Structure 1
């Protein structure tokens, strides 16, 4: 939930560390801080608020150093104050630590350290780490030994980076929280960060740090050792993202940029994956790869969960038993699995703590596991039996947009392959679905260029009693996603429902001030229209999203947002783009913090 960055170079690195923090601000933005090593001393500057405030204060105070770490925080333990901001230090101020994750045994460690005479200044779980290092140093351990001993005491999920006075470099480790190493040979720099965009403007060469690894970056390069101290040879990879991918490129918000990037993201998602004969061609999964699967479980959280529900519907329509589970529930209330169960973890970052815990639980119980993710080298991609990448490129806005579309597109390919392998023959609609999938990027482009969402948002910016989103079939997860996007960035109440559920309770909340956004896919539209009439008869205005040729829908709603006519299995993707635009424009008119909505962070790496 927080962002760590670090840099070691030949010259002053403060501006570089601050730039890395700005690039990670989507991971946390309620407080921030930096620590530098200049000579033998550690200097720390931190404060509540945004990184821009920290940068201004750093310039005023002339903070400098060739070795530095930084942290941008999303609060878990303690309020967003200067005292609780990272980096945290030991009693003597010679150790500074930045941390992402949750240290579950911090209370016991704090009590032990307090009894030994250590004094604490914050409410955070993190502060025990520099004191543990200080305690080990006092026994004569070297900085590397002290750091390793401290890490061995920690329980929970964490990535930790530390500066130690007298030690020329940064020491870091991870367990369950992301940490990547950036290699800039030409510039003579090494980077550590929670995510690649932190240093992408400086280098695209990355090394993915594995759980238990201890890494040191210094003026002479970097060294990685395994949990038991053996040297580890981790190859550097070149990420395909460009620095421009992580910039706003003239858009007012990253979210709007990423909404408009969906045609290109979809092109990448499906490129080379539909064979000339119209079949699915996933390079690592030839025909028959899933012939021994009898049931599919999808695991996901948030937006990824809605993509999973979409895929569940597609599989059920094709006669394959499928279920979608919340990643936060699956590990604690597990359903039965066996070696014929395929468990598919859908996670944009590949680092979502709840989903990872459930993925591991499924694997321990004998299920086959597959990660559908955006990040090569992520924990999910490494720990699952197999991985399938959505190739959406970096997504900086906290509210997911292009990754949902790309997840659905890749899951459509996967469901067609699964259906053929599990049932023994292609689905009846396979050729039509894959042909429509090939045209999907163009269709999304049409929605973006012709959408009337902004004018509609202006008319319905005031919805005193909230908004309802309804849908049926694959329109149902799109309704859920539309409501999630709306509440995330407008801070106004929104709920998504299966259309038929309105009369089982939610109608009690409908008033003339409750706009209802209804998703029509071309299947069961008559039933959905009946549900629309139920709310219209209570005075609620209805906004229908449907294919442009759906005159019966256009005539049955108060407002109509058309999308290109497309196969019903893919109509939800186009409807979702319209709902993204509605949410974006309402939030913009309400002057919300669209890219950094309150209380939310992009990558949820704590349970």
Structure 2
């Protein structure tokens, strides 16, 4: 995850900027830089690699400006070079950016026709030239940023400083988090409160769609309608902590809301945004054309991620895939073909059953590939190949952002397999990658359903049992939804393939039974509607998660319809995971359980 900091100070800010960036190192990065206002000129220092390289540059070439922005970059568009490192700048404006500008190609071409000269491979430079063009036309910084934001599509956080004004820093949030810090005649900006810990304990958090104008006297915050709004200012101590809850009540809530950012960064590791091609960060030691069978092995939520990955690998790669619970894999003694592939999924990389299954697969001559969040873990070290998820630290026991990052890695792996095996053309690959690039923005839109889900949770909390139904990739997501509800609210829940309803579970349906139906409008939607009608005929309370077209075509009056954004059906599970998680979270809050540390559960299960 990229990190953003900004300071409107009363003395030199370069050292403070670098110190704040150090506190964001846990997010991961591959280059860093700062820009400060030196008199009426913007000056930058940037470096590849770790912050010590940037500190070395600053020691050799000091900056003394009292206004500045800084950035740690996790490469998305363009290689991790000094030229692509942030801040980007012209003579008039400097910018730092976290996230993905989906329509950067369109903006880039338009700006080039108007004379803009691009010097980097990044999507951020389109934002820079948009603002710079307005400034060159005599428009003031506030209006220049306002006009620019209206043209951007994607999930992003931005920070700007301007050569013409030493009393302004402008920022914007659409997905990735941003915090504003208040000091004595000074103002601060950070990706989270951790970055601002040594500077201030007085913080406010921007909400999605907000943008703010900071001056030495305070901050004016605007919402997505450009109306001035007030955001709560809170006191907190983050100076000694590397991970805090920000303005969220629980870590789980924070981690749900971090998904547009971390899923975007995971995506950026596995695709070339500019060409819309999959670009795996490692060379695979096997040829997908020679793989006859894939076994996906994991536990709990990671197992359900693997189940969704099974659908993708089968459909896009035309590979035979089996999904196994790690604790069963060794003991059922399934025949294994030497040279076939086993994929192991684990957030911690230390899950005991998954590690034992990995060692068993290696003994039988399988290629082993792990998908883990912790690169130094045992599973990562012992695997033939390791693919990292970039979820960052996940504190809540119930996995959320690790799950969706695992899905993103599996999606790109499935596309890569399909391409190598000749099942996907270059046009297919570009279309599918484009669909994935839209996921962070769509996740942000899905988070907007939270107030409705919060109200709904008060009804779910009255229930003893809940059913989840889905077809296709929505079936394993139904299993995951039921698991989440059980884990943190302690309400009994079960997930079923919707077509299995009449083979037993329908006996449970009565007027007290909530039935959560996960049904994007896809090729099996009409069949899912038939199952919904069976529930409705028996008085079940249907909670329908679908898009606008699905809601219009449902032909059943549900208790509640949660409208999701329109999207391509293939990767809908990535987006629908958000309301599924929110429903479990808010139900648990109503129930008064320990959301982050539910009873009897541990974050990493390191014993059989």
Aligned-partner SS, 1:568: coil
The equivalent residue for 2:263 is 266
The equivalent residue for 1:303 is 301
1:459 CA drift (Å): 3.1
1:536 CA drift (Å): 1.1
The equivalent residue for 1:471 is 470
1:292 CA drift (Å): 2.5
Pairwise CA RMSD: 2.1
The equivalent residue for 1:156 is none
Q: Does 1:282 find its partner at 2:277?
A: no
| CA distance in 1: counterparts of 2:580 and 2:329, whole angstroms | 29
The equivalent residue for 2:372 is 373
Matches within 5 A, 1:373-412: 373-412=372-411
TM-score (norm 2): 0.58
Matches within 5 A, 1:169-208: none
The equivalent residue for 1:550 is 550
1:553 CA drift (Å): 4.7
Contact conserved, 1:374 with 1:392, CA < 8 A, in 2? yes
Q: Which shifted more, 320-329 or 568-577?
A: 568-577
1:509 CA drift (Å): 1.3
1:449 CA drift (Å): 2.5
| CA distance in 1: counterparts of 2:512 and 2:424, whole angstroms | 49
Distance 1:291 1:246, change over 3 A: farther
Aligned-partner SS, 1:567: coil
Contact conserved, 2:529 with 2:555, CA < 8 A, in 1? no
| Aligned with residue 251 of structure 2, among 240, 250, 254 | 254
Aligned-partner SS, 1:336: coil
1:262-281 CA-to-partner distances (Å, cap 9, x unmatched) read 01111111114222332210
Aligned-partner SS, 2:290: coil
Distance 1:441 1:424, change over 3 A: closer
| CA distance in 2: counterparts of 1:287 and 1:413, whole angstroms | 17
Q: Which shifted more, 334-343 or 466-475?
A: 334-343
The equivalent residue for 1:348 is 347
Contact conserved, 2:286 with 2:367, CA < 8 A, in 1? no
Matches within 5 A, 1:441-452: 441-451=440-450, 452=452
Matches within 5 A, 1:453-602: 453-464=453-464, 466-521=465-520, 522-553=522-553, 555-558=555-558, 559-602=560-603
1:155-197 CA-to-partner distances (Å, cap 9, x unmatched) read xxxxxxxxxxxxxxxxxxxxxxxxxxxxxxxxxxxxxxxxxxx
Contact conserved, 1:416 with 1:426, CA < 8 A, in 2? no
1:551 CA drift (Å): 3.2
The equivalent residue for 1:16 is none
Distance 1:476 1:408, change over 3 A: same
TM-score (norm 1): 0.58
Contact conserved, 1:273 with 1:280, CA < 8 A, in 2? yes
| CA distance in 1: counterparts of 2:466 and 2:379, whole angstroms | 35
1:332 CA drift (Å): 1.2
Contact conserved, 2:551 with 2:563, CA < 8 A, in 1? no
Distance 1:552 1:428, change over 3 A: farther
1:591 CA drift (Å): 0.6
1:413 CA drift (Å): 0.3
Distance 1:506 1:427, change over 3 A: farther
How many residues are matched? 367
1:124-183 CA-to-partner distances (Å, cap 9, x unmatched) read xxxxxxxxxxxxxxxxxxxxxxxxxxxxxxxxxxxxxxxxxxxxxxxxxxxxxxxxxxxx
Aligned-partner SS, 2:289: coil
**Can you give the 5+ residue segments of structure 2 that lack an aligned partner in the other structure?**
1-196, 198-238
1:463-500 CA-to-partner distances (Å, cap 9, x unmatched) read 13x00001000001100000000000010100000001
**Can you give the 5+ residue segments of structure 1 that lack an aligned partner in the other structure?**
1-200, 202-241
1:549 CA drift (Å): 3.1
1:424 CA drift (Å): 5.9
| CA distance in 1: counterparts of 2:426 and 2:507, whole angstroms | 41
| CA distance in 2: counterparts of 1:245 and 1:407, whole angstroms | 24
The equivalent residue for 1:125 is none
Contact conserved, 2:449 with 2:579, CA < 8 A, in 1? no
1:289 CA drift (Å): 4.5
Distance 1:385 1:426, change over 3 A: farther
Contact conserved, 1:401 with 1:580, CA < 8 A, in 2? yes
Distance 1:419 1:365, change over 3 A: same
Distance 1:418 1:244, change over 3 A: farther
Distance 1:323 1:360, change over 3 A: same
1:79-136 CA-to-partner distances (Å, cap 9, x unmatched) read xxxxxxxxxxxxxxxxxxxxxxxxxxxxxxxxxxxxxxxxxxxxxxxxxxxxxxxxxx
1:420 CA drift (Å): 2.0
Contact conserved, 2:551 with 2:561, CA < 8 A, in 1? no
Q: Which shifted more, 256-265 or 449-458?
A: 449-458
1:577 CA drift (Å): 0.6
Contact conserved, 1:432 with 1:567, CA < 8 A, in 2? no
Contact conserved, 2:396 with 2:597, CA < 8 A, in 1? yes
| CA distance in 1: counterparts of 2:359 and 2:286, whole angstroms | 25
1:397 CA drift (Å): 0.4
| CA distance in 2: counterparts of 1:403 and 1:248, whole angstroms | 17
